[in-house]
Structure 1
Amino acid sequence: MKRIRSVVRGVGSYLPRRKLTNQDLEKLVETSHDWIVQRTGIEERHIAEEDETTSVLGIKAAEAALADAGLRADDIDLVICATSTPDYTFPSTATMIQTGIGMTHGAAFDLQAVCTGFVYAVATADKFLQSGSHKRALVVGAETFSRILDWNDRTTCVLFGDGAGAIVLEAQEGEGTSCDRGVLTSHLRSDGRYRDKLYVDGGPGSTKTTGVLKMEGREVFKFAVGMVADVVQDAFKATGTSAEDLKWFVPHQANKRIITASADKLGIAPEKVVITVNKHGNTSAASIPLALDTARKDGRIKDGDLVMIEAIGGGFTWGSALIRW
């Protein structure tokens, strides 16, 4: 039975100008390059300057995605921005991206699911396009996590970076099989009982402050490896596919040890795993689109490839989406 699929038309990304290496961090906190690499796989990350707000990063990534798609702002009728670090409490960062790319029609809104935000945003955009209410969606993941870090806390400040990535999704008719191009299935989960494992200790409705990131690293590692399996396996079941059918596995880039452990648990061969955490750090909702753009630009992801994206984030939230490129 024919059905509407959300097909990837273009992908783009943007990283702030400033790089912060592990050697730079050695001068700020008691840590070392070897310690960071051994435990996280991170070698460097990008840090936004004062004039590089989340929307600025998002606009540049969106423009790159539109250029890659061969489309203009007038061709888009929906903008969803996944972010936990908006420019303002309101208006939404998505509306600022909308304005920044010269779009004055359609709808734009933010979505907050922390590191799982991009997966949630892809799933949400897919529902809009499948319904027939919209034709093309710009899905952006953009973060300036450097603004909510305690730079005296060596257990967290070494992990995160800033950046943005975006994809353009277009509604196209498919045959209704797993051979279709586009988003084939998505699966989302959350469990608020784990709030204290990874959170920011502030907000306008509680402390009236921004707050800083707090994390129980060992607990997050344990849950990250254990929880993602169900949503990935659900995706395989829903489409009649398996780990062997995957061309690329593009997980949230939080920690190299989490990525490799998750892939191993799922039976995904190491050579199918896209890893960019070494150069980007953990960029939260921006990490998956940044990795997608990297793998597309260097020739790894090609048209027709079966790509799995997955993530887990504060809340906890977690999810997957299976996409045929």
Structure 2
Amino acid sequence: MAITLSEQDWNDLWQQGKHNGSVVCQSDGWETLEQGYLPYLGKVHEWEMQLREGLCIGVYDYNLTDDIICISQNSGCIDSCLSFFVSGDVRTTLHGLTDCVDEVVGRNYLSCIPNVPETETWQAGQRLIRLQIALDPYSFFHELTLEQLTQLPAEVRQVAASGDIKPYYRSGITTPEMAVVMHQILHCPYHGLTKRMYLEGKALELLTLQFSQFVQDNRISQSSALRSDDIERIHYAREILLARLHDPPSLIELARIVGINDNKLKIGFRHCFGTTVFGYLHQCRMERSRQYLKAGGMTVSEVAKAVGFVNRGYFAASFRRKFGVNPRDYLNQMQKTPASDRKNSG
């Protein structure tokens, strides 16, 4: 039977953990870390850092021991929140704003939900990790001109221009470029002020990538060249590429499978994902190869073949350009890392 936690129940659970010593809190003014063990949530790790006025970053990590239903009212939640799922999935309903939504790895979410009742369902046995960036658009962007603000998503632009906060919720696709930045944030090598400076740059990079995606989507939807069903076909083409990294279809074959002409597929793919069809394929192959090497159990040659590279030398050069390390060296590094740490790392 699922455990139902209200906002008050959640706060009481954490306060009790701090009181009895099962949760330890550390803070230096910029950075706050709370970690330990709590009933229902299992091993917990909540980390937040204030980067500058109007910009904060956090990672929230729970190893769920029970099915949980979280109910919140979001009173006073006026920031825009950019969420990425690193691990696990959640079923979310924003009452009066969205139907039930499956929030999963591979997608990201931009939302502002002041006073919007929310129900989240979490399943036991999964590790749930969310990376979030909280943004106050008015504090952060209000000095920009109206022309400059047009480069922001419409929802963010409205708040930045006037301070008028209205609820919204948008879902986007986490691209390989975003995944790389997320990995860098989760494995930040710095401390103190240097850490804060580094993470501010990475947070802005994630904002840039997601905002660009949403602005492109708006332009597509407003364009007569691509209808909504065309955009659905382009997203379907992406799913086919992800499923066939080792043996991808040709551009013409891919266009035929999804029911769109190849020219519209090329134009639409660049609009949706910011790169060409096979540029995207290459990025996905690189990220998948990194995951295989991290998991262990395969040689570099086997990994290269699994993601569709015939020439191992070309694969090694591509991997080195993408991640700054040879695949053999990366594999050796992962083999020295405990399996549990490899599994739980980004």
Please give the range of the TM-score, normalised by the shorter of the 2 chains: under 0.3
TM-score (norm 2): 0.25
TM-score (norm 1): 0.26
Higher helix share: 2
